[in-house]
Chains A and B, each alone.
Chain A
Amino acid sequence: MTLTRRALLGYGATGLGLSVAGLPIRASAQVQDLTIAYNVNLPSWDPTVGPSAVNPTIQGIYQSVFDQYIGQKPDLSLTEGLLTDWGWTDDYSQVKLTVREGVKWHDGTEFTPEDVVWSLERAGNPETGNPIQFIWSTIGNFRIDGNVVTADVKQFDPTLIKWMGFLTGYVLPKHYMEEVGPEGFEAAPIGTGPYMVERFERNAFVRLKANPDYWGGAPEFETVTIKFVTDASSRVAEVESGASHVTLEIPYEEYDRLKQKPGLEGVTTPVSDIAMIFINDVEPMLDENVRRAMHHAIDKQLIVDRLLSGYGVPIDTLQTPQYVAYDPSIQVDYDPELAKELLAKSGYGPDNPVRFTIQTTRGFKPKDYEMIQAIVGLWRRVGIEAEIEVYEIAKHFELRAADQLAPAAFYNWGNAIGDPSTSTGHAMFGPTPHSVWDGQELIDMIGPLWGEPDEQKRIEGWKAVDRKIAEDGLVIPLIQYVQPIIHSAEIEVTPHVSGALHPHRMTRA
């Protein structure tokens, strides 16, 4: 048989046509390859360096491949990770860490206490660029005895243990990192986590393969594909078309619509991410009556119901109900009459409003701009005239670090270790570059709490700080965000209060 050029072209065109017209890829009835449409890209595989290391949403992907020193349950409580026991000595001069035995890296090499020490030393080294280096550098002089690592405490920080289950608290393979270097690690990362990286296409997808030797038990799905779909409408289409089984962070209206569709289910959970308004101690915010009136004039439940389709939890302090220092007795009620009275004491009212600028992002968080529009409307009723200035989140960071925010500025604050030091502490302690309220009274209250070893005394101290902040109107906490997750009815999804979406916590229904 002679194959002519024309025939070859014909066969080629036919083959191509059949390939293009082939049946679309749909989720099968029995889910084999779990596909997740994720809302963020994964810029780097090193979970301890660079901007992605402090991005809470990315942690779900990192935690699929790498293990943390200490694990974090879905309710934020700590659990065993690569450490099975941990604690301070009685005089807080040392920290003792018991390392899990029988764990293997994805390349089959045995995981050892040397990996833990190497990872901690690397994290504390200022030259590696770990953004949490200031925490990791508080311990040093590591010694290994069997499977116990002991370190000297250079500066006591009561949150160190919690950080071991949070940002940059990952154990990386000493032997492999030294062998392949940072670029080799980016190309083919290995960890001890429930999944191994099979293929990674930057900005497109990562394919994960179950780690059969995982110390926590092999995950349910043999393969997982995480597609990076950063556009919310595309994520909706992904799950609606059946191309992905799970997605998250979609508009609440779409969530309500999709969960009604056959074959789809939804789950929501309040996450450790709150909306708040920073108050800068410049005019007219030096007037306590103005600050308190601003807070009392906001109907947070109305905002949740009208703008967020009911998905949100009003809060009055920077602690959410899941945080250890949450105190439900601290309340700042919606009371527009009280707001008017307070303003009147300072000579303001609807006919003579107090004027200032409020900054906000637009589209960075769900309904951020709309929330501020609604708040400005509520303020107007009591005698506050605020002009809205829209800025990008990067500008917010820059202005906040330079203490140059407007008198009021909308922001969202995450705190996935649930400790008051990383919510109220860093947001309100004047000397840090994160706070714009510099009042000495608050500095004096917060200062001693940073190194307070008595946990009960420390937590009570933070509650007192929160009460003081609420009474003086030094910040306006608004709501705790709720994370919407839509998934195939054939999948069970366990949400995590940190907001991380974990493939290994998903099972077949």
Chain B
Amino acid sequence: MSLKSFSIRLASMIVTLFGVAVVVFVVIRVAPGDPIAMMLPPGASEADIERLRGLYGLDKTVVEQFFIWLGGVVQGDFGTSISLRQDVLTIVLGRLPATLELATMALVIACALGLLLAVLGTRRRGRRAEAAVDLWNGMTLSIPDFLWGLIFILLFAVAIPLFPVSGRINPQLNPDYVTNFLLLESILRFDFAVTGNLLRHMALPALALALPLSAVIAQVLKQSLKEVMGLDYVMLARAKGFSEFAVIWREALRNAILPTLTLAGVQFTFLIGGTVIVEKLFSYEGLGNLAIDAVINRDLPLIQGIVLVFAVLFILINLAVDLLYATLNPRLRNG
């Protein structure tokens, strides 16, 4: 990426973030629900309402509030959460690793499953196996992730209690880690008791998130493979006597996977957004669960902080996908 295109990209990111900041700031103030009214007990007078409003800085105009908040954000101060009474950025960054680990695990499962299904469908095209793959894809796609979550809870946590229903880690374990990337850190520390426990807690929510995405990946990849399989170089590989599996795996997949990669990148951002309901269902202590509580409590600074961090994340992921795509695609790499 040249300096000029990098500068353009950076400027575009700043404009996007400013736009997100304005929209979220205005929307949550226009939306019904006053945080002060939410915390008022019976007996509070108009004077009590005004006192609390002033205490939380909500007595100023929306424009004044916005610029005070923006001035803080520029200096890394996202404000103080009304409900949690802690620094917003600290809270959000503390939760982000849990969501990133969950979403990454879901993406890995989705990619592996999608790849498997696509290769199987292509290898057995025109046969019952392909029909079964299509049927499975249709089914996994039509059932939303939270419903998969409920099904998995009933099957693998209640009927056959193999996995825990809720949480990120067994409360009995007390890993004294430096970061909140518990899975990554436990692997690096060879602390497999913690790794195993984290994976057991992560398995059902990650699978619930992964299934619909795996169907999308499988469909797109299968279609790409179908197109590539008719190209000359694939025919040549066949003529050389390569097995059908080797043709798909070694020759066709390399070219067919590029559109899927872009898709997976875009879907990863949706996956992070999708963790909101699944995290709530599994009481998983990530950013999504936090977001729901923030909305319920009308915790304006926290909502703003979460949305802004989500926005930064989405922009960075898209940037990473673009860079990766440019690296892998020879036409873009040489262009």
Contacts and interface: CB of A to CB of B under 8 A. Distances in A.
Physical interaction between A and B? yes
Interface of A: 12, 15-16, 18-20, 22, 24-26, 33, 37, 41, 43-44, 46, 49-54, 126-127, 129, 131-135, 167, 182-183, 186, 199, 201-205, 207, 225, 227-231, 233-234, 237-238, 240-243, 391-392, 394-395, 397-398, 400-401, 415, 421-422, 425-427, 432-434
Nearest to B43: A426
What are the nearest 4 A-B pairs in CB distance? A19-B196, A394-B33, A426-B42, A395-B32
Interface stretch (B8-16, B149-157, B215-223, B251-259): B149-157
Given A43-B297, A134-B43, A12 B161 contact: no
Contacts of A54: 39-41
B281 A19 contact: no
Interface in B105-154: 150, 153-154
B165 A131 contact: no
A15 B171 contact: no
Contacts of A18: 196
Interface residues of B, number: 64
B43 A432 contact: yes
B61 interface: no
Interface of B: 32-35, 37-46, 48-49, 51-52, 55, 82-86, 91, 95, 150, 153-154, 157-158, 161-172, 174, 190, 192-193, 195-197, 199-200, 203, 280-283, 285, 289-290, 292-293, 297-298
A26 B85 contact: no
Given A134-B45, A426-B42, A432-B45, A129 B55 contact: yes
B298 A135 contact: no
A207 B44 CA distance: 34
A406 to B, nearest CB: 14
Contacts of A25: 164, 170
A53 B162 CA distance: 38
Contacts of A33: 172
Contact of A50 (B32, B43, B82, B197): B82
Nearest to B294: A43
Given A52-B83, A241-B161, A422-B43, A234 B283 contact: yes
A186 B46 CA distance: 30
Contact of B40 (A234, A391, A392, A433): A433
B85 A46 contact: yes
Contacts of A132: 41, 43
A357 to B, nearest CB: 16
Contacts of B158: 237, 240-241
Nearest to A185: B85
Contacts of A43: 83-85, 293, 297
A43 B126 CA distance: 56
B86 to A, nearest CB: 6
Given A20-B199, A234-B283, A51 B164 contact: no
A199 B82 contact: no
